[in-house]
Amino acid sequence: MNSKAFELLNNPRLNKGTGFTLAERDSFGLHGLLPPRISTLEQQVEWSLENLRRKPQDIDKYRFMSSLQKRNERLFFRLLIDHIEELMPIVYTPTVGQACQEFANIFRETSGFYLSIDHKGRVDELMKNWLDPEVRLIVVTDGERILGLGDLGVSGMGIPIGKLALYSACAGIDPAQCMPIVLDVGTDNLRFRQDPRYQGRREPRVRGPEYFEFVDEFVQAVKRNFPRALLQFEDFATPNAVALLEQYQDQLLCFNDDIQGTAAVALAGFYAATRINRVKLSEMTLLFAGAGSAASGIADLVSKAMQLEGLSEAEARARCLLCDSKGLITRSRDTITHHAAPFAADLPPMTLEEAIDHLKPHALIGATAKGGTFTPAILEKMAALHDQPIIFALSNPTSKAECTAEEAYRYTKGKAIFASGSPFAPVQVVEGLKVPGQGNNAYIFPGLGLGALQAGATRITNEMLIAAAKALAHAVSPARIQQGCLYPPLRDIREVSLQIAVAVADTAMQQGLLREPLPADFRTKVAAAMYDPHY
């Protein structure tokens, strides 16, 4: 086989399979190496979808999509873009959770970039091994808190790969500019450490100063090697997630999706909910079941949005309260985590149910990663308190959701304004069909990244996140609102991401956080620059 033919057929970015034209086959010596029939990209998409749908299990479909991405990148993304509603749950949540758990079994060929703490002192040198020099977007995890599944170590690589696939599919970020990274600092998952197939360090997690020194070496290497890149922290355990965000958010273009992306998509849901219950955000009381990085991140961003509606900082924070496994977080506790402390209530200790009785919250937000947390009794309490209680069951994957859509509607007699982190099917109630909205971070982070990168932003701020949330809420049609759905259909995600990108860029410009002013035709230029796979 000649070298050019070999490169074309084995490089997923260049390969077209049977889509190579007659002229291309003549020019590159491909005759005989492919079946003689020439197919269009549209035909390949149709045939690939047929093959995928024959797979019996979602994990088999995940493997099919993963293999396709490694074989023909343009076909993979064309298929994903054209059938995003069907395939997002396959390439990302909830199926990606199972893929990460089974990573050692399904690993066939390398994807992404692996940095071990054993490489400490050589990170800058090793970053140069990455083949694509124009990296603009990095998603990094240390695998300690993958979705609601816990410590999966390097098997968490499926998360950065999946997130970046959504950046390209949902917001047109060129996949050649994307870099998924796992920082391997060991794992406390004993089952993985004892599994000979596990691909990472079979040592307990490194913690303390050595851990933070390693992460800092990595961040400084990113700044030197890819100075215009956006760095997204993903699925770090709460104490590290909060500490790293606080340390680096003013040093480079970065954000934490679990804290800030989740917060923005939840805030968008609240803004959309105001169109149903007619209660201003600043007049709501929110009670969180869960007090980790997701819950505190949502509470922080919501309280800042409330302040933009006229509340003082103290007044806004008093409307956002957190419960953990011990009950309501109050100032009387002996120990309170750093991220939860601003929302500690000046109240006596009480359980979640007692807090609902006492606070009469308009919204109950689940971020516990414990399925069934919202019991029938809790849901009935919320319905007794408000005509249209807001119930957000945000934990992923589906098995970790605090309640299902069907449970939320059943035990509130169809009154709930419901959203979830994982997808649920529509539910028929007496009043008609309810369409549960999926508060998927994919509604926010792709457009946020697109806007920041295309505008040349130097930082990600709360104001930019609030602008993204408002743009997302604005994109929900009156017909969707009528069905109780707080988010637009996924099929519109690229247009929604474009709207978010423009809102984010405009806000960054107002804050003086751009390298140069936005052109008058910024929206048009961004739309033209979005990756759109074709032959």
Q: What is the DSSP letter of 34?
A: B
At 333, which amino acid appears? Answer: R
Q: In this model, does residue 532 exceed pLDDT 90? A: yes
* pLDDT of res. 152: 97
Q: Which pLDDT belongs to residue 108?
A: 67
For the chain, how big is the Rg over CA atoms in Å? 23
* Dihedral of alpha carbons 149, 365, 401, 331, sign: positive
Integer angstrom CA distances of residue 4 from 1, 24, 399: 8, 11, 48
pLDDT the model gives residue 105: 80
Instruction: Give the number of other CB atoms < 10 A from CB of residue 19.
Output: 19
- Beta strands 230-233; 254-256: pairing state: parallel
Q: What integer is the mean pLDDT of 434-445? A: 94
Instruction: Supply the pLDDT for residue 3.
Output: 84
What average pLDDT score do residues 160-181 get?
A: 98
> What six digits make up the tokens of 150?
């816990």
Residue 102 has pLDDT above 70, yes or no: yes
Helices (H), 72-179: 73-82, 84-91, 95-101, 103-106, 123-127, 158-171
Instruction: Name the token pair of 500.
Output: 């978010």
Under the banding of pLDDT at 50, 70 and 90, the label for residue 2 is confident
The residues carrying an active-site annotation are 92, 163
Which residue, among 391, 341, 110, 362, has the nearest Cα to 239 in the 3D structure?
341
Q: Is the per-residue pLDDT at 241 higher than 80? A: yes
Token pair of 143, please? 């695998």
pLDDT by residue (tens digit) across 111-147?
899 999 999 999 999 999 998 889 999 999 999 999 8
Ramachandran angles phi, psi of 352, nearest 5°: -60, -45
d(CA 196, CA 455): 46
Q: Is the pLDDT of residue 450 over 90?
A: yes
Residue 407 has pLDDT above 90, yes or no: yes
φ, ψ (nearest 5 deg) of residue 388: -135, 75
Q: Compute the half-sphere exposure of residue 217: CA atoms within 13 Å on the CB side of its CA.
A: 20
**Pairing relation of β-strands 427-429 and 432-434?**
antiparallel
Query: How large is the average pLDDT for residues 329-349?
Result: 94
Q: DSSP for 101-113, please give it.
A: HTHHHH--S--SE
Largest distance between two CA atoms of the chain: 79
* pLDDT range class, residue 391, cuts 50, 70, 90: very high
Every domain of the chain and the residues it spans:
3-91, 98-252, 260-442
Report d(CA 487, CA 481) in Å as an integer.
8
Q: Name the more confident of 207 and 148.
A: 207
Give the residue-averaged pLDDT of 350-376: 96
CB 232 within 8 A of CB 248: no
Share the mean pLDDT of the chain.
Answer: 96
Q: Enter the tokens of residue 505.
A: 């860029």
227 pLDDT above the threshold of 90: yes
- 3-state SS of the chain: helix, strand, coil percent to 5? 50, 10, 40
Please give the class, per CATH, of domain 3-91.
mainly alpha
For residue 488, whether the previous peptide bond is cis, meaning omega lies within 30 degrees of 0, is no
Interatomic CA distance for residues 328 and 314, integer angstroms: 18
Q: Say whether pLDDT at 421 is over 80.
A: yes
Q: Per the structure block, which two tokens stand in for 72?
A: 């023909």
Residue 365 reports pLDDT greater than 80: yes
pLDDT at 1 over 80: no
Tell whether the model's pLDDT for residue 109 goes beyond 80.
no
Residue 238 in contact with residue 145, Cβ under 8 Å? yes
The answer to whether 87 and 80 have CB atoms below 8 angstroms apart is yes
Architecture of domain 260-442: 3-Layer(aba) Sandwich (3.40)
Task: State how far Cα 482 lies from the chain centre.
Answer: 26
Mean pLDDT, residues 80-97: 94
Mean pLDDT of 482-504: 97
Q: From CA 454, how far away is CA 167, in angstroms rounded?
A: 13
Structure tokens given for 75:
């076909």
Which residues face 392 on adjacent strands? 365, 419
Highest mean pLDDT (candidates 55-59, 102-106, 291-295, 423-427): 55-59
What mean pLDDT do residues 470-496 have?
97
Asked if the domains 3-91 and 260-442 are classified in one and the same CATH topology, the answer is no
Domain 98-252: which CATH number of 3.40.50.10380, 3.40.1260.10, 3.20.20.70, 3.40.50.970: 3.40.50.10380
What average pLDDT does the segment 257-282 reach? 97
Given a cut of 90, is residue 93 above it in pLDDT? no
- pLDDT, residue 133, reads 84
Residue 161 identity: I
Question: pLDDT class for 25, splitting at 50, 70, 90?
Answer: very high
Total Cβ atoms within 10 A of residue 406: 17
DSSP alpha helices (H): ranges in 255-401? 262-277, 293-308, 313-318, 352-359, 376-385
pTM of the shown model: 0.95
138 φ, ψ to 5°?
Answer: -125, 130
